[in-house]
């Protein structure tokens, strides 16, 4: 058992992570308005995404406090059901595979896998864990049935990371490794767009990415160079990209969250996008939930960041809500623990980060 002083220290760390989230998300919304005012862009998409993450995070914190296992299980089932029942997730033209809704489907199933893993590590009944692991594996199998290879790979990675998290004593190393993975993928995406990779590696990557996507990335980088600080304005990529304009089914996006931020909101926008991801990892580091729960959620959010680096997953409100919901569930303090704290002690259920 740990003392009340330790509990207060936990509260202080959690308050710091909450404050950081308010600052980062508020800055994202404000910067989109500034760049839109300068270039006449449309900030509604960014504002909706910020609102979706905030709403999902708040809902996750509330539901995770009341019923951590049931809330995570419900989230997993809801995400899977949405991916199956609503394949297009948004109105408007749907680009063909692999530039269509496959990225959003993969993202939803990946988040659902992470939620199932969080439920498995949250339950106090070890007998329930095999069923919850089986649910996570079933979600990965669902991705295979739906034909999203990205979802299979990402979901499998989340499941394996979650299983390994049970043997990890300190979460800081695991979360740092997840952050490094996201940074490497982002760097490779930028290198492909800039044509900075060796010819052989570039050709190997262009196959699964498709030439059309790579051309969109080239356009995004060219627009970034026009105004590196501010970008061309939120929502304006589609009207300024020659590749996008030439495609009859274009959704007006470069299919990379990183390059879309760079093109439309400049270097500051990229910095804010990175800050939002770092805030999520920081919140998971500071959470009082068990380390396996934090690392399972971190693995799912990192997989989402990877998918978003090479696709348009973050353009779908359901994905943004799901990301916030999972982060909220993994950082909520169950009411049972609050009752224990009021009695003068808190469970020593996780190692010090």
- What pLDDT shows up at residue 16? 85
Q: What is the overall mean pLDDT for the chain?
A: 87
**Residue 350 resides in a domain:** no
Q: Is residue 352 part of a domain?
A: no
Distances from the Cα of 283 to the Cα of 54, 288, 323, angstroms: 14, 10, 13
- Between residues 208 and 52, the one the model is more confident about: 52
pLDDT tens-digit series, residues 250-266:
778 899 999 999 999 99
Query: For 93-112, what is the mean pLDDT?
Result: 70
Lowest mean pLDDT of 88-97, 170-179, 208-217, name the range.
88-97
**263 found inside a domain:** yes
Would residue 348 count as lying in a domain? Answer: no
Per-residue model confidence as pLDDT tens digits over 318-329: 999 999 999 999
Is 60 exceeded by the pLDDT of residue 295?
yes
- Greater confidence (13 vs 304) lies with 304
pLDDT score recorded for residue 353:
38
- The pLDDT tens digits for 185-195 are 999 999 999 99
Tens of pLDDT, residue by residue over 220-243, are: 999 999 999 999 999 999 889 888
User: Between 8 and 209, whose confidence is greater?
Assistant: 209
Mean pLDDT of all residues in 209-221: 91
Mean pLDDT within 29-42: 92
Q: What is the dihedral of CA 23, 28, 29, 32, to 10 degrees?
A: 150
d(CA 35, CA 294): 35
* pLDDT tens column, 113-124: 999 999 999 999
Mean pLDDT value of segment 163-183: 93
Q: Which of the four pLDDT bands, split at 50, 70 and 90, describes residue 348?
A: very low
Residue 353 lies in a domain: no
Total tally of structural domains belonging to the chain: 1
Is 290's pLDDT higher than 80?
A: yes
Q: What is the pLDDT of residues 57-101, one digit of tens each?
A: 999 999 999 999 999 999 999 999 999 887 555 444 444 444 445
Residue 351 pLDDT grade (very low, low, confident, very high; cuts 50, 70, 90): very low
Asked if residue 347 is part of any domain, the answer here is no
Which pLDDT belongs to residue 12? Answer: 60
pLDDT value at position 9? 54
Q: Is residue 330 part of a domain?
A: yes
- Percent of the chain at pLDDT above 90? 67
Q: Which two tokens stand for residue 37?
A: 């005012």
Is a pLDDT exceeding 90 seen at residue 292?
yes
Q: 10-14, 87-91, 280-284, 323-327: which has the minimum mean pLDDT?
A: 87-91
CA dihedral for 187, 190, 196, 198, sign (positive or negative)? positive
Q: Which domain holds residue 58?
A: 4-342
Q: How far is CA 208 from CA 113, 149, 171, 204, in A?
A: 24, 11, 33, 8
Given a cut of 70, whether residue 349 has pLDDT beyond it is no
Intra-chain end-to-end CA distance of the chain, in Å: 16
Phi/psi region, residue 6 (left: phi>0; alpha: psi -120 to 50; beta: rest), is: alpha
Tokens of residue 297, six digits: 């959620």
Give residue-wise pLDDT tens across range 130-153: 999 999 999 999 999 988 899 999
User: Does some domain include residue 251?
Assistant: yes
pLDDT band per the 50, 70, 90 thresholds, residue 37: very high
Q: Are 267 and 168 in contact (CB under 8 A)?
A: no
- Closest to 293 in 3D by CA, of 72, 125, 100, 65: 72
What pLDDT is attached to residue 207? 82
């Amino acid at each position: 058992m740990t003392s009340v002083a330790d509990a207060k220290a936990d509260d202080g760390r959690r308050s710091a992570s909450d404050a950081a989230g308010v600052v980062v998300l508020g800055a994202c919304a404000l910067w989109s308005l500034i760049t839109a005012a300068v270039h006449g862009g449309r900030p509604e998409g960014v504002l909706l995404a910020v609102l979706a993450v905030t709403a999902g995070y708040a809902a996750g914190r509330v539901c995770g406090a009341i019923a951590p296992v049931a809330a995570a299980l419900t989230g997993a089932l809801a995400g899977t059901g949405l991916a199956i029942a609503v394949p297009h997730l948004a109105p408007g033209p749907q680009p063909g595979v692999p530039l269509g809704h496959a990225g959003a489907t993969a993202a939803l199933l990946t988040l659902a896998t992470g939620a199932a893993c969080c439920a498995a590590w949250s339950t106090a009944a070890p007998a329930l864990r095999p069923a919850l692991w089986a649910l996570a594996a079933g979600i990965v199998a669902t991705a295979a049935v739906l034909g999203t290879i990205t979802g299979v790979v990402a979901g499998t990675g989340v499941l394996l990371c979650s299983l390994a998290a049970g043997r990890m004593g300190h979460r800081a190393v695991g979360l740092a490794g997840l952050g490094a993975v996201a940074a490497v993928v982002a760097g490779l995406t930028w290198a492909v767009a800039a044509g900075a990779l060796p010819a052989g590696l570039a050709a190997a990557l262009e196959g699964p990415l498709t030439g059309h996507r790579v051309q969109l990335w080239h356009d995004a980088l060219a627009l970034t160079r026009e105004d590196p600080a501010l970008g061309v304005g939120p929502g304006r990529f589609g009207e300024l990209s020659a590749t996008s304009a030439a495609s009859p089914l274009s959704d007006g996006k470069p299919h990379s969250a990183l390059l879309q931020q760079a093109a439309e909101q400049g270097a500051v926008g990229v910095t804010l996008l990175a800050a939002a991801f770092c805030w999520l990892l920081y919140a998971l580091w500071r959470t009082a939930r068990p380390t396996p729960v934090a690392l399972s959620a971190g693995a799912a959010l990192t997989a989402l960041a990877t998918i978003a680096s090479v696709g348009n997953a973050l353009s779908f409100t359901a994905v943004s809500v799901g990301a916030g919901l999972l982060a909220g569930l993994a950082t909520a303090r169950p009411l049972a623990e609050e009752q224990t704290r009021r009695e003068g002690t808190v469970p020593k259920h996780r190692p010090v980060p």
